[in-house]
Amino acid sequence: MGNREIKQGIYAVGAIDWDRRLFDELIPLPDGTSYNAYLVTGEKKVALIDTVDPGKTRELIGHLAELQINRIDYIITHHAEQDHSGSLPEVLELYPEAKVVTNEKCRQMLLDLLPINAEQFITIKDGATLDLGGRTLEFIFLPWVHWPETMVTYLLEEQVLFSCDFFGSHMAQSDLFVSAPSRTYEAAKRYYAEIMMPFRINIVSHLKRLAQKKISCIAPSHGPIYSDPSFILDAYAQWTADKVANKVLIPFVSMHGSTRKMVDCLVECLQQRGIPVMPFNIPRTDVGELAKELVDAATVIIASPMVLAGAHPAMVSACYLINALRPKTRFASIIGSFGWGGKMIEQLQALMPNLKAEFLEPVFIKGIPREADFRSLANLSDLIARKHEQVGIHAPEAPKR
């Protein structure tokens, strides 16, 4: 990333991870990511806002050296997760006079996760401020975006919001600010889906609180900086709203073709009724793309064959993920094929208690689908169309460009 000045005396000193392709051994990163850290200099004090992933410690320290930073007074730690805090021990060793400024909950988590002494902390309360000399940092606690200890920092004089994971996107790019709006929108939506969507209700209240601030720019901990805050604030308002899109997702698994035939039929029927539909072949799918589409999909149809007495293990995993993400889906159903019996329908529904959707009558057949089964799928598509119309679901909005 190098040292780049955001505003006079405010620098981006983090690191780009061009090659990382998996986060938490779970989240695919097709575009890599960045670990953003920021240096804010005042007339009297210097503050480093967050650090970087342990694998990029050398880059962070190199950027500080390039700026000839001989003293850091405060290291603001928004969030204890190691992709932001992992370099703390090395930075504190290099700048032993620095104090780690964070909240009590984050302090305890950092003591659990990293070799840091308790004496190295300054704990602050929600709304506390820190004077750097001509620049004032205000700390705002925003728990559950996406850990319970998360907070953000607002620079009063320049109206810059250092938002930690909030409003982030997993993108590796040379440009410091948003330069490809469509790509950034999709990456931020995917990031929201994978990381923030389970906390949608919390985020709604946090957005209301931030709306009381005049914000000139948003500097997150991953991805580019937003020189136009409305770009991402409007997107979050849309994603967290109760409104859903006239869209059906069909995550599916098919071992010998029977379930695939059912999926193909349902896709065709829904298209004939003017409903956008997206099938996802789960064993081959980037689950991040599925998560992104779950943000606003009105209906999800789970399609799976039976394996022994239950659903295919890949579909069990997908349903666990859908449940964890807590999408605002309105309607759901299950289709699939079995060989000799079992309780797949009950099993899959039990895996998704957080899906507060109306479950429509499943289409569950023995063996290959026949004419009567295709008629049942057509009837299901009719029912979905009626349900969407009844609740006033319209075509999805085009992304901002």
In a domain, 12, yes or no: yes
Nearest residue to 102 via CA among 88, 36, 91, 11:
88
- Per-residue pLDDT at 393: 82
Question: What is the number of H-type helices and E-type strands within the chain?
Answer: 12, 23
277-281 and 245-252 beta bridge pairing: parallel
Structure pTM? 0.94
> Residue 371 pLDDT > 80, yes or no?
yes
Which residues form the domain of 285?
Answer: 245-390
Q: Could you read off the pLDDT of 165-213 as tens digits, one per residue?
A: 999 999 999 999 999 999 999 999 999 999 999 999 999 999 999 999 9
> Residue 358 pLDDT > 60, yes or no?
yes
- Domain match, 177 and 30 both: yes
- Domain match, 161 and 269 both: no
Q: Which two tokens stand for residue 288?
A: 């991040």
Place of tokens 């289709």: 335
* 268, 303, 370, 379 from 373: Cα distances, Å: 14, 14, 5, 10
* 72, 133, 162 from 157: Cα distances, Å: 20, 11, 13
Q: Could you read off the pLDDT of 229-266 as tens digits, one per residue?
A: 999 999 999 999 999 999 999 999 999 999 999 999 99
Q: Of 240, 273, 291, which residue is a domain's last?
A: 240
Place of tokens 């000799």: 340
- Region 338-364: mean pLDDT is 94
Q: Which two tokens stand for residue 45?
A: 């004090």
- Domain match, 222 and 311 both: no
- Domain match, 159 and 82 both: yes
- Per-residue pLDDT at 290: 97
Chain-centre distance for alpha carbon 148: 15
- Region 120-136: mean pLDDT is 98
| Backbone conformation region of residue 326, classed left if phi is above 0, alpha if psi is from -120 to 50, else beta | left
- Domain match, 151 and 75 both: yes
Chain-centre distance for alpha carbon 361: 32
- Domain match, 210 and 278 both: no
Task: Work out the mean pLDDT of the chain and round it to a whole number.
Answer: 95
Report how far residue 225's alpha carbon sits from residue 218's, in angstroms, rounded to the nearest whole number: 6
Cα dihedral 164, 168, 171, 177 sign:
negative
Place of tokens 């990511």: 33
Amino acid at 37: A
Share of the chain above pLDDT 90, in %: 94
Residue 4, helix vs strand vs coil: strand
How many folded domains does the chain comprise? 2
Q: Of 211, 240, 269, which residue is a domain's last?
A: 240
Report how far residue 251's alpha carbon sits from residue 232's, in angstroms, rounded to the nearest whole number: 28
- Region 137-160: mean pLDDT is 98
In a domain, 395, yes or no: no
> Residue 400 pLDDT > 80, yes or no?
no
Residue 359, Cβ density class (10 Å: 0-12 exposed, 13-18 middle, ≥19 buried): middle
Report how far residue 311's alpha carbon sits from residue 12's, in angstroms, rounded to the nearest whole number: 48
Report how far residue 338's alpha carbon sits from residue 369's, in angstroms, rounded to the nearest whole number: 11
